[in-house]
């Protein structure tokens, strides 16, 4: 089983390239909101003004005394959470886990955009009623588009003929109310079928976002063959803003010489990841197209 935390660590492996960030451990359990943390080892980089991370909880250090620090949890929009004794603490993380998790969700949303053409497949069963044209798609979530619609026929042949694409329409902003559709999504069928028999709808849907670091990534709907994609995309996103600080005029934010690390080096450093991501997206798209080819009826 692959968890979101595995994706977070994979993303960091791309970003840190073997750099080992300073670590510590909690000497006793931390209670959310308590404002105090006690550490097992010498504080070293943990000092007033630094940030520390436990899990996806980012904390700001106000002061230190011995091996105890006064902290504020839930820093920078993260969620303050309890932590067990012995939990690993990361000191001044370059890429906080909460930020990485957010970038992973952004990439999942991006992958299922029409620009990239990836998606998860959903199905919905309706019952044909000859007195109706429109059907409420109340069981359909994250709809992108309908792949195909099939209807069952009587008899033992298990024949599920496909409805011509010119014979149905999908409305993603259908009217609601007494004579509308509760879900706001509707399928309109303009072909006679068999009363009381099921209609099988196969559709493209956006990937489901990660809830937290313990989420099983299979719940996103991303095929297992594409599990490598979100960490690559998240790494590219997180590196995209690294050059901005070099343009600050208020302070000197980067002491490295331009000859050592020229302007644009940060963005250029992920070019290989961009190429890899584009190639992998195309490969996965072709895999989907093979299973679900585009059908254009005359």
Instruction: Give the separation between CA 11 and CA 6, rounded to whole angstroms.
Output: 9
Predicted local confidence at residue 286, as pLDDT: 95
**Cα–Cα distance between 178 and 32 in angstroms, integer?**
47
Helix, strand, coil proportions of the chain in percent (round to 5)? 30, 25, 50
CA angle 270, 271, 274 (to 5 degrees): 90
pLDDT at position 17: 86
- Which ranges of the chain have pLDDT less than 70? 241-268, 298
Q: Tell me what pLDDT residue 242 has.
A: 63
What pTM was computed for the model?
0.87
Distance CA 186, CA 199 (A): 14
CB atoms within 10 A of CB 57: 23
Mention every residue, 6+ apart, whose C-beta is less than 8 A from residue 22: 44, 45, 90, 91, 92
C-beta atoms surrounding 50 within 10 Å: 17
Residue 196, pLDDT score: 95
Q: How many Å apart are CA 206 and CA 187, to the nearest integer?
A: 18
Could you report the per-residue pLDDT of 179-237, keeping only the tens digit for each? Answer: 899 999 999 999 999 999 999 999 999 999 999 999 999 999 999 999 999 999 999 99
Enter the tokens of residue 147: 């792949």
Judge contact between 111 and 229, C-beta under 8 A: yes
What b/e string do you get for 235-247 counting C-beta neighbours within 10 Å, with b at 16 or more? bbbbbeebeeebe
CB atoms within 10 A of CB 95: 21
Q: What is the pLDDT of residue 253?
A: 56
Q: How many CA atoms lie within 13 A of 94 on its CB side?
A: 18
Q: Are 274 and 232 in contact (CB under 8 A)?
A: no
| 273/254 Cα distance (integer angstroms) | 24
Q: Which two tokens stand for residue 34?
A: 């308590």
- pLDDT given at position 267: 59
Distance CA(205)–CA(32), nearest Å, equals 37
Q: What is the dihedral of CA 253, 11, 114, 283, to 10 degrees?
A: 130
Task: Write the CB contacts of 227 (distance below 8 Å, at least 6 apart in sequence).
Answer: 2, 7, 217
pLDDT at 254: 56
């Amino acid at each position: 089983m692959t968890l979101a935390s595995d994706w977070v660590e994979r993303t960091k492996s791309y970003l840190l390239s073997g750099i080992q960030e300073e670590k510590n451990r909690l000497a006793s359990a931390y209670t959310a909101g308590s404002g105090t943390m006690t550490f097992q080892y010498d504080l070293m980089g943990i000092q007033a003004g630094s940030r520390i991370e436990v899990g996806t909880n980012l904390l700001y250090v106000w002061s230190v005394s011995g091996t105890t620090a006064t902290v504020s949890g839930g820093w920078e929009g993260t969620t303050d959470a309890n932590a067990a004794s012995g939990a690993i603490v990361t000191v001044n993380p370059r890429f906080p886990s909460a930020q990485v998790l957010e970038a992973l969700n952004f990439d999942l949303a991006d992958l299922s955009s029409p620009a990239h053409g990836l998606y998860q497949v959903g199905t919905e069963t309706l019952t044909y009623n000859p007195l109706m044209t429109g059907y409420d798609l109340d069981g359909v979530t994250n709809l992108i588009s309908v792949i195909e619609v099939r209807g069952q026929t009587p008899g033992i042949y298990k024949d599920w003929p496909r409805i011509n694409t010119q014979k149905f329409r999908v409305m993603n902003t259908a009217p609601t109310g007494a004579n509308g559709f509760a879900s706001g999504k509707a399928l309109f069928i303009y072909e006679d079928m068999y009363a009381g028999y099921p209609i099988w709808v196969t559709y493209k849907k956006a990937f489901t976002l990660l809830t937290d670091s313990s989420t099983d990534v299979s719940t996103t709907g991303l095929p297992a063959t594409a599990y490598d994609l979100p960490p690559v995309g998240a790494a590219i996103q997180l590196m995209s803003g690294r050059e901005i600080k070099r343009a600050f005029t208020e302070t000197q934010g980067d002491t490295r010489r331009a000859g050592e690390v020229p302007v644009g080096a940060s963005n250029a450093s992920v070019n290989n990841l961009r190429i890899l991501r584009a190639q992998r997206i195309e490969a996965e798209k072709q895999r989907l197209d093979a299973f679900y080819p585009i059908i254009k009826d005359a």
